A and B are shown apart, each in its own frame.
Chain A
């Protein structure tokens, strides 16, 4: 079976979101997760610029330049939503009122350390945004990232090599080939893509993997990527 594409990865993470959760979605791949949350769930999507209850993207004729999410996308409001200022929004984040934040990442370490803000791009200034606040204080931090870099290097490591976003924060990792949790003992695999052996997965990972007794196949429905 082919590795999951980024929309299938978002779909897979969405399966673990429960009715009633308050969720913050990071820029890039994670924002797609909201498209796959069960329609009959009341899930509150928090955007750090203060929109509490982000709905689907706005249609072109309904788009409003003052109704934007943290990724500058023009969005709609869900029933029950409210809009607050940035100080209150980050009080909500820092105060532990976010159940789950789903973030992209460059690297995750076996102790839960997260590196997702500084990829050391030459000549570019640092861009941290709200990542450190979310990673430090959301009740759970889930990471959505490809298992390996384009060059094939592992992103799951014994220790991060890039600058940290927060220490000991990641609880789960959804990659294109596995679902993995971070336990006190390190990485624990819950699902693997059919066709990839445990040894092959270990070979593509930079830290020791343990396998859950109920470790199962990773599967997702076919979802086509939009034409670019």
Chain B
């Protein structure tokens, strides 16, 4: 049977995501957020989720809606701030009250741990963070003249990423800075779902593909009216 990764609706694209799942969300600085998939996940409503997302919340993402809906148990991120600068956001209130678990990593460690999981590497040494609070309790080792921190890979059950164009094989292209965490997250998750602007009925020319469809399981073409 021919490969066809396209799903008709966002609900079908996120179907089957269950309680306790680790969900990776791409996006940085307003580019690359799969907001329609996140909205569908919110409507699906699984609980006890772990989010792997660079910014715990962002004013141009709707990640905070998952947190406000009480669906999130833990956040792994590099920036643990609310989406709204006026007062305490729901995320900050939960953090302050100790009701949401938080793991903060340097951004390069955050993405390398994801990349490592997708590449079959369980742990690796990095110079980043040595001698800081973020390396407290982690194993360190000296190689040559430098000290390094042992970091563990971060794998996901699901990645919800945003891209520009897909074909039926799941091959993807990205627009400008939209890639950010998307390619690494797609490789590290058991189920990678891409929300895209457009769908190509013909195969995307091989040399233009930025992420192989091997890493992508489902495609949802975003509703431009949403």
Could you say which residues of chain B place their CB within 8 Å of the CB of A67? 31, 176-177
* Pair A84/B104 contact, Cβ less than 8 Å: no
Give A5 Cβ to nearest chain B Cβ, in Å. Answer: 25
Stretch from B10-18, B124-132, B200-208, B216-224 that touches the partner: B124-132
Given contacts A125-B104, A130-B107, A131-B106, contact A71 B182 (CB under 8 A): no
Determine if B31 and A93 form an interchain contact, defined as CB atoms under 8 angstroms apart.
Answer: no
Q: Interface size (B, Cβ < 8 Å)?
A: 46
Partner of A128, one of B29, B107, B115, B179: B107
With known contacts A67-B177, A72-B30, A136-B130, A86–B96 Cβ distance under 8 A: no
Cβ–Cβ contact A132 & B106, under 8 A: yes
Known A49-B29, A166-B132: A125·B80 in contact at CB below 8 Å: yes
When the two chains form the complex, which single residue of B105, B114, B177 contacts A50, counting CB atoms closer than 8 Å?
Answer: B177
**A171 at interface (Cβ–Cβ under 8 A)?**
no
Indicate if the CB atoms of A127 and B79 lie closer than 8 Å.
yes
Contact flags A105-141 to B (C-beta < 8 A → 1, else 0): 0000000010000100001111111111100110000
Is the pair B127, A136 in contact by a Cβ cutoff of 8 Å? yes
B32's nearest neighbour on chain A, judged by CB, is: A66
**B69 at interface, CB cutoff 8 A:** no
Q: Which residues of A contact B180 (CB under 8 A)?
A: 49-50, 85-86
Q: Judging by beta carbons under 8 Å apart, are A68 and B177 in contact?
A: yes
- Residues of B15-32 contacting chain A, CB below 8 A: 28-32
B34 within 8 A of A: no
| Across-interface contacts of B56 in A (CB, < 8 A) | 125
Q: How far is the CA of A71 from the CA of B28 in the complex (A)?
A: 10
Q: Are B28 and A66 in contact, with the CB atoms below 8 A?
A: no
> CB-CB contacts of B130-159 with A at 8 A, as 1s and 0s?
111110000000000000000000000000
Task: Note all chain A residues with C-beta closer than 8 A to B131.
Answer: 113, 164, 166-167
Query: In this assembly, does B181 line the interface, its C-beta being within 8 Å of a C-beta of chain A?
Result: yes
Asked whether A146 is an interface residue with its Cβ less than 8 Å from the other chain, the reply is no
Our pick among A47, A91, A133 for the contact of B107 (Cβ within 8 Å) is A133
A64 within 8 A of B: yes
Q: Are the CB atoms of A85 and B181 closer together than 8 Å?
A: yes
- A210 interface hit (Cβ, 8 Å): no
Q: Does B8 contact A (CB under 8 A)?
A: no
Given A49-B28, A125-B80, A66 contacting B177 (CB threshold 8 A): yes
Contact: A87 with B183, CB < 8 Å? yes
Contact partners of A72 in chain B: CB under 8 A:
29-30
Closest to A64 in B: B176
| Candidate in A48, A93, A133 with the most chain B CB atoms within 10 angstroms | A133
- A87 near B78 (CB under 8 angstroms)? no
**CB contact under 8 A between A65 and B31, given known A124-B81, A129-B79, A130-B108:** yes
B112 an interface residue at 8 Å Cβ cutoff? yes
CA A86 to CA B128, docked complex, whole Å:
15
A98 and B200 CA atoms in complex are apart in Å by: 37
Q: Are A86 and B107 interface neighbours, CB within 8 A?
A: yes
The 9 closest A-B pairs by CB, nearest first: A125-B80, A133-B108, A90-B108, A132-B106, A167-B131, A66-B176, A85-B179, A72-B29, A130-B107
Q: Can you list 20 A-B contacts (CB < 8 A)?
A: A47-B177, A51-B176, A65-B30, A66-B31, A66-B178, A83-B176, A85-B179, A85-B181, A86-B28, A87-B114, A94-B108, A125-B91, A125-B92, A126-B104, A128-B104, A128-B107, A128-B134, A129-B106, A136-B129, A166-B128
Given contacts A67-B177, A68-B177, 9 further A-B contacts (CB under 8 A): A49-B28, A72-B30, A84-B179, A125-B91, A125-B102, A128-B78, A133-B109, A136-B129, A166-B131
Listed in ascending order, the chain B residues whose CB lies under 8 Å from chain A are 28-32, 54, 56, 78-81, 88, 91-92, 95-96, 102, 104-109, 111-112, 114-115, 126-134, 175-184
